[in-house]
Structure 1
Amino acid sequence: MTHQKLQNASSVPIDGFSNVRITSIWTFLMSVQWSEPWLIGLLTFQAICFGLTLLTCRFYRLQICQFLVMVAMVYSAEYLNELAAMNWRSFSNFQYFDSTGMFISLVYSIPLVFNTIFIVVIWVYRTFSTMTELKILQLKRKAQREGRKKTQ
């Protein structure tokens, strides 16, 4: 039993730049050097995208465009990962871009997907609100028509 545990422990990848055993997403994210300028820029970009989502809540067409752009960006993440894996030395101190795309998924795609989900939730909420308002108007008009019929 202990031999099996040792074998499983040795199969856990070791992060090359901080020698921390990566056993979860949290340890992986903690092993990233977040002080690199391109990572700060990426985090700033994600914050700007979320801020734009909040600011464009009342502008459907603008939010549709933002939604489509973010979906296209998530779709292109695989190609961006390949490009970054080939040229990582020009902008980064470490090779974060593996063939499975875990890093780019965690720091690039998942925040964009959460942003698009937030937009869809806003759309569903507004649709339900509009449907509720329409039903209330229908009931008021029906009540007015019935009131007129009774007075005639």
Structure 2
Amino acid sequence: MTEQKAENISSIPIDGFSKLRITSIWTFLMSVQWSEPWLIGLLVFHVVCLFLTVLTCRFYRAQICHFLLIVGLVYSAEYLNELAAMNWRSFSDFQYFDSKGMFISLVFSIPLLLNAVIIVMVWVYRTFSTMTELKTLQLKRKARRDKREKSD
């Protein structure tokens, strides 16, 4: 039984940079060398993307374009992962891009999907607000109509 546990523990990968056993998403993210320029650029990209998400809340058409761009980037993450896996030596010190796409999903797709969720929540809120205003106007119009009919 202890041999089986030892075998299972030894099958858990150890990161070459941080010497951590990668057992969860958190230890995986801790094993990434975040000081690499391309990762800093990716973080800046996500901050700018979040800023644009907040900024475009008042501009419906711009937000639609932003949303479609986000969805397109998430859709192309698999192709970006393959491209980055083939060319990682040109921009990175470590090979982060695995065949299952865990790294690109965590650091690229999930933040973009969170932006998309924020945009959808804004759209749902706007839709409910518009429906509420419409129903209020309908009730006021009906009340005025009923008042005119009673006075006639």
Same fold (TM over 0.5): yes
Gaps of 5+ in 1: none
Residues 56-75 of structure 1 correspond to what in structure 2 (within 5 A)?
56-75=56-75
Work out the number of aligned pairs and report it: 152
What SS does the aligned partner of 1:12 have?
A: coil
1:130 corresponds in structure 2 to 130
Worse overlay, 75-84 or 7-16? 7-16
- TM-score normalised to the size of structure 2? 0.97
Residues 1-150 of structure 1 correspond to what in structure 2 (within 5 A)?
1-150=1-150
Deviations 1:102-138 (A, max 9, x none): 1100000010011111101110110011000000000
**CA shift at 1:2, angstroms?**
2.5
Give the letter for the 1:88 counterpart: W
Runs of 4+ in 1 over 4 A off after TM superposition: none
Distance between the aligned counterparts of 1:142 and 1:6, measured in 2? Answer: 76
Distance between the aligned counterparts of 1:58 and 1:4, measured in 2? Answer: 59
**CA shift at 1:3, angstroms?**
2.6
User: What RMSD in Å do the two structures reach over aligned CA positions?
Assistant: 0.9
**CA shift at 1:6, angstroms?**
1.6
Distance between the aligned counterparts of 2:76 and 2:82, measured in 1? Answer: 10
Aligned identity (percent) is: 76
Distance between the aligned counterparts of 2:122 and 2:2, measured in 1? Answer: 52
Is the Cα contact below 8 Å between 2:17 and 2:33 reproduced in 1?
Answer: no
Gaps of 5+ in 2: none
Distance between the aligned counterparts of 2:142 and 2:2, measured in 1? Answer: 76
Distance between the aligned counterparts of 2:95 and 2:17, measured in 1? Answer: 10
Distance between the aligned counterparts of 1:6 and 1:143, measured in 2? Answer: 77
**CA shift at 1:143, angstroms?**
0.6
Give the letter for the 2:40 counterpart: I
Distance between the aligned counterparts of 1:123 and 1:26, measured in 2? Answer: 32
